[in-house]
Amino acid sequence: ILIQLRGKENADPKAVAQLSRLRTLAIRQKVPSALFDSLDERLLTGKEVAPASEPAYLRETRAILEGLFLRRRGVSDRISAEDLLKLLKAKQQAVVSRDLSFEEILLHTCRAADEQQVEDDASFLESFGEIVTYFDRFDQTSNTINRMAFIEGSDLSEPALRGLLGHRQAFEAIEAGIFHALFIDPIRRDAYLTRYGARKIQALVLGLAGLVRGDLSVRDVVGEIGKAAEEERLYGRIRQYVKERVQTTYAELLAKDELDAFLHDLTNVLMAKKLIGREIPLSLVQRVILDLKKEAFYVNQLLPQVLSARHGGLREDFIQNSGLDRFYVEELEREYCEVNKIDPAALDAIRR
């Protein structure tokens, strides 16, 4: 690698990553780092790293996977927890960035293994198999949690929760806290996480911790998540009913007499349609009406100002302080532009 770099004006980022991997492997085998320093000084003096054509996490992934072939020569016997952790974090970055290059690198490694006929190499198969197993765990965990968090009314079954508990234990064995870093924190940072999605995530986090301590049962945790999911479904049905039936600013519904009568009619209608099996909590109806009042204020008063002044900051302040889900706000904006024949491109300016 050094000889190839010596003939180039700039150092290739991929080659530099490979050299870094060799250094790491050498340190683990107690090879003096001074040997590498001496070689670098003789052959790389004055070289600058060329601009990277791919993100650093992809270059590191490529170097780690290519390093598996070095292990076939007895440099190391298996992938380290440190490297496994780097690969999992790289996979998480690729998922967030919607970058398919990560999977392409993995497939390339598989093809290279076939071409070099390493099927009988137990060391390689063990290391690569361990990586694939953790990637499968990653996908299963990510899909389960994301479905629960982002699909309206989605809950969690007992087998699914047991699976998550097993995956959590496997990830935490690599490094404490990595389960949260890979699967919980990114979802909580997602701007489109709804209030009910956040509530289900919190119930899952507390539930998993309780299962580990032995304070809670699987049924307890599933039940708590199920309560949030049921209320989420009910909220959506009430919201739809109110929007369809009440052509007003909803102010008069906050008066107790009108609200009680409306709640009675609403319960009868939804029960007749078999959409609910019990009485609707008054507090939930009040929340729906209050949210609809906020939506009406935004559409009738604030949104015209935001679009006219292209004031994205004012829009963001409203979303943060109102407690409304971003998804609903964007639906209101889209409908407003359609009704008023405003170019949808105007929304791009306020959503940046």
What are the extents of the domains in the chain? Answer: 54-227, 246-350
Matching residue, tokens 């009440």: 246
Type and span of the H or E element at 144: helix 122-150
Reduce the DSSP state of residue 157 to 3 states and report it: coil
Q: How far apart are CA 74 and CA 69, in angstroms?
A: 10
CA 130 to chain centroid: 23
User: Which pLDDT does position 55 carry in this prediction?
Assistant: 85
CA proximity to 67, closest of 112, 104, 102: 112
Phi, psi (5° rounding) for residue 115? -65, -35
Cα 38 to Cα 271: distance, rounded to the nearest angstrom:
80
Q: Which amino acid, 219?
A: R
Neighbours of 315 (CB within 10 A): 21
Nearest to 165 by CA among 126, 220, 127: 220
Instruction: Render each residue's pLDDT in the chain as its tens digit; 352 residues.
Output: 788 877 777 666 667 667 766 665 565 556 776 777 677 777 776 655 444 567 889 888 988 887 776 655 555 557 889 999 999 999 999 888 878 788 888 887 777 666 655 555 666 667 788 898 999 999 999 999 999 999 999 999 999 999 999 999 999 999 999 999 999 999 999 989 999 999 999 999 999 999 999 999 999 999 999 999 999 999 998 888 888 776 654 555 555 566 667 777 777 777 777 666 667 788 888 888 889 889 989 999 999 999 999 999 999 999 999 999 998 999 999 999 999 999 988 998 898 7
What pLDDT is stored for residue 249 in this prediction? 46
3-state secondary structure (DSSP) of residue 48: strand
Do 65 and 17 meet the contact criterion of CB atoms below 8 Å apart?
Answer: no
CB 148 within 8 A of CB 204: yes
Residue reference for tokens 């927890």: 81
Residue-level pLDDT at 35: 79
Task: Tell which residue, 203, 221, 218, 223, has the closest CA to residue 162.
Answer: 218
- Report the alpha-carbon distance of residue 12 to residue 267 in Å, rounded: 68
Q: Which pLDDT score is estimated for 69?
A: 64
